[in-house]
């Protein structure tokens, strides 16, 4: 009588094959192939590649003050407001009923404006 686990023998074989393949790839690429490839470490090969020209400018990555983040956020606030206001003002005569809607939009932004003012977001030196 066959062992109750015998239908799973192919799974075991598959697992073994997978393990051996993975190990063989690691051993080949890690130990065997580096013996075959040309190995000539040179300082020039580690230099920055700037199309062959020595890099002129260093320190292009400076830190920016977090204050600019606030400025950008405030810009978006007033920018969106103006972008809405202008076309609305142009077409206002033909759509008088939009007055209430625009008033509520302005009121919403006014709350944000007052909040930012109260937090001192418009003070540059802090």
Partner 1 sequence: MAELDINDAVLTTRLDAVVNWGRKNSLWPMPFGVACCAIEFMSMMSSKYDLSRFGAEAMRFSPRQSDMMLILGTITNKMAPVLRTIYAQMAEPKWVISVGVCASSGGMYRTYATLQGVDRIIPVDVYVPGCPPRPESIIYGVMKLQEQIEKESLSMRKDHIARFYESLERQDALQAAKGLTSQQTIREMLMDAGERGVGTIF
Contact, 68 vs 125, CB < 8 A? no
For partner 1, the binding residue among 29, 47, 78, 111 (CB under 8 A) is 47
* Out of 30, 52, 59, 118, the residue judged to bind partner 1 by CB under 8 A: 52
Q: What is the DSSP letter of 54?
A: P
CB 48 within 8 A of CB 55: yes
68 binds partner 1 (CB under 8 A): no
**Apex 91 CA angle, 107 and 106, nearest 5:** 5
How far apart are CB 8 and partner 1 at their closest, in Å?
A: 40
The whole-angstrom separation of Cα 69 and Cα 24 is: 52
Would you say 6 or 58 has its CB closer to partner 1? 58
User: Which 75-104 positions form the footprint of partner 1 (CB under 8 A)?
Assistant: none
Question: Is 119 near partner 1 (CB under 8 A)?
Answer: no
What Rg value do the Cα atoms of the chain yield, rounded?
34
Residues near partner 1 (CB under 8 A) are 36, 38, 40, 42, 44-45, 47, 49, 51-54
């Amino acid at each position: 009588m066959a062992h109750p686990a015998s239908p799973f023998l192919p799974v075991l074989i598959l697992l073994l094959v997978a393990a051996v393949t993975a190990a063989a790839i690691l051993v080949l690429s890690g130990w065997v192939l580096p013996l075959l490839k040309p190995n000539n470490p040179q300082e020039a090969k580690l230099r920055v590649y700037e199309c062959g020209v020595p890099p002129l400018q260093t320190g292009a990555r400076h830190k920016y003050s977090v204050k600019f983040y606030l400025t950008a956020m405030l810009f978006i606030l007033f920018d969106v407001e103006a972008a809405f206001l202008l076309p609305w003002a142009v077409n206002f005569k033909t759509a008088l009923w939009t007055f209430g809607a625009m008033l509520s939009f302005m009121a919403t932004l006014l709350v944000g404006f007052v909040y930012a003012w109260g937090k001192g977001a418009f003070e540059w030196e802090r």
